[in-house]
Amino acid sequence: MAQDSVANSESKPKVTVELQIEDQSAFLKAMGGKALAASDFEGRFSSWDYHWYCNVFNTCETTYNGGLFVVRMNDGIIVRWNLMESATKKDHGIPYGASSPNYRKAENAQYCPFGFGTQDGKTQDVSTAVTCYANWGRLEFRWDASCT
């Protein structure tokens, strides 16, 4: 007898980060005079939902949603950005700075949504890139996740 099947990815992926400084003096001013590196910023998930479900007739749907905020590790401050953008693809290997597919944005924000919501089909691999823009440059995050 056929059964429903479900997979849930409760573990959050390792997030990599790149820092692009375009205006050094504006960056130093925004950071309180401290020259910070990419490792001094941490992307944290405020929410995370990645799972798929298939019924006995092998009709499936996948949900992938979440939110990311950025913490400055030297003082614990959550950073506000001029613009935050995210893109998610249904596979691994999305490049830094991607703006499609599944584009989302937040202006003058501390939190950026990502994902594609709930869609038909079983998606076992996803990849997301989030770019955070400030007047001094940008900070970029990316990760791959699997749900098997």
Least confident of 85-89, 94-98, 133-137, 141-145: 94-98
Give residue-wise pLDDT tens across range 4-45: 677 777 678 889 999 999 999 999 999 999 899 999 999 999
Report which secondary-structure segment, H or E, holds 115.
Answer: strand 111-120
**pLDDT at residue number 3:** 62
**pLDDT at residue number 11:** 76
Q: Is the pTM here over 0.85, yes or no?
A: yes
Q: How many CB atoms lie within 10 A of CB 39?
A: 9
Gap between the Cα atoms of 67 and 25, Å rounded: 30
Is 2 a residue whose pLDDT tops 60? no
**pLDDT at residue number 60:** 94
Gap between the Cα atoms of 64 and 97, Å rounded: 20
Tokens for 62, please give them. Answer: 């996948």
**pLDDT at residue number 9:** 74
Give residue-wise pLDDT tens across range 45-77: 999 999 999 999 989 999 999 999 999 999 999
Gap between the Cα atoms of 145 and 50, Å rounded: 9
Domain ranges of the chain: 5-146
Burial class (CB in 10 A: 0-12, 13-18, 19+), 144: middle
Give residue-wise pLDDT tens across range 70-101: 999 999 999 999 999 999 999 999 999 888 89
